[in-house]
Amino acid sequence: MLSFALPDFLGSRSFFTLTEAQVLIREWCLDYNDFLPHRSLDDLTPNEFARRQIP
């Protein structure tokens, strides 16, 4: 899903500097992995799902 969602994020924004792009992409990744549940992962975030997979 990340491979589909990130281009949508990038395509909907204009960045004025490389630093601005890096900060916004980093924030987007944190939201995507830590705060947004995914139906394909039983409504868990990717990080919650990963933690449950590690014994």
pLDDT mean values, one per 10 residues, the chain (55 residues): 68 88 90 89 93 85
Residue 8 lies in a domain: no
Tell me, yes or no, if the pTM score tops 0.85. Answer: no
If one counts every other C-beta atom within 10 angstroms of the C-beta of residue 21, the result is 14
In a domain, 11, yes or no: no
Residue 22 belongs to domain spanning: 18-55
DSSP alpha helices (H): ranges in 12-55?
18-34, 46-53
Asked if residue 41 belongs to a domain, the reply is yes
Is residue 9 situated within a structural domain? no
Per-residue confidence (pLDDT) for residue 4, from 0 to 100: 63
As a whole number of angstroms, the distance between CA 7 and CA 47 comes to: 21
